[in-house]
């Protein structure tokens, strides 16, 4: 869904549409909502709470799928999505144990595999206290940045909802640049994470074959 279409929906339905849209296009919706919050269309405190609860809540759901349904077809589909086999799980476990904060950051920002990555965290049984602690920090960093960027754009080109609508082409252009940069960063994170995971998986497989 384009930024322009999302903006139209949010302007028309306001809070009613914000929650379901945040489940579909969280980062884009956070940026647009932050822009509108700069002119009082949304409460910035409500947005912070919404996106934090949304992100941590989804993390908990996917973690549970991995922990309690790791052998289900859905979990296997998640693993296939990121190219992880049963042989690689030991490698992922090493990542969680040695560098939990870095692993959470890279995994959560890895475009297209974040949900599958969290399923794997449940399968390798990462301690819940660490999981939610690091997940919360990443959620604050990720969505706090997007909301602040949107707020800054709203202040820069707006001042009122009318001015934002009048200058919507500039808002959309900046949003397109910001979102593109965000997704390029997450794609880079994804490549880096999968490369590291593959290396550890191969090391684990070699160690097992020598036993």
For residue range 145-191, list pLDDT tens digits in order: 889 988 888 787 766 666 666 665 566 666 667 667 766 766 666 66
Q: Helix 128-157 crosses helix 100-108 at what angle (to 10 degrees)? A: 50
Question: Rounded CA gap, 28 and 181, in Å?
Answer: 12
Question: Rounded CA gap, 29 and 32, in Å?
Answer: 5
Question: Rounded CA gap, 156 and 174, in Å?
Answer: 11
Q: Where are the domains of the chain?
A: 3-210
| Per-residue confidence (pLDDT) for residue 48, from 0 to 100 | 93
The pLDDT mean for the chain works out to 76
Whole-number CA gyration radius for the chain: 19
DSSP assignment, residue 99? -
With contact defined as beta carbons under 8 Å apart, do 172 and 53 qualify? no
The pTM of this model reads: 0.71
Least confident interval from 18-22, 50-54, 128-132: 18-22
Question: Rounded CA gap, 72 and 80, in Å?
Answer: 12
Task: Kindly give, in sequence order, each residue whose CB lies less than 8 Å from that of residue 100, ignoring residues fewer than 6 positions away.
Answer: 126, 130, 134
């Amino acid at each position: 869904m384009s930024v322009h279409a999302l903006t139209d929906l949010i302007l028309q339905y306001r809070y009613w549409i914000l929650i379901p849209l945040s489940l579909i296009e969280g980062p884009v919706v956070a940026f647009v909502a932050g822009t509108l919050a700069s002119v009082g269309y949304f409460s910035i405190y409500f947005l912070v709470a919404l996106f934090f609860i949304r992100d941590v809540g989804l993390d908990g759901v996917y973690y549970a799928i991995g922990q309690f349904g790791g052998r289900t077809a859905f979990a296997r589909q998640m693993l296939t999505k990121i190219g992880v086999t049963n042989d690689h799980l030991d490698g992922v476990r090493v990542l969680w144990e040695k560098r939990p904060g870095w692993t959470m950051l890279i995994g959560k920002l890895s475009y297209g595999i974040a949900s599958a990555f969290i399923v794997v965290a449940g399968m390798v049984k990462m301690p819940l206290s660490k999981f939610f602690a690091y997940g919360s920090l990443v959620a604050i960093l990720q969505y706090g940045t997007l909301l602040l960027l949107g707020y800054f754009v709203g202040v820069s080109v707006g001042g009122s909802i009318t001015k934002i609508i009048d200058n919507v082409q500039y808002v959309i252009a900046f949003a397109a640049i910001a979102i593109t940069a965000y997704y390029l960063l997450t794609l880079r994170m994804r490549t880096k994470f999968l490369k590291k995971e593959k290396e550890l998986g191969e090391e684990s497989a070699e160690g097992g074959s020598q036993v």
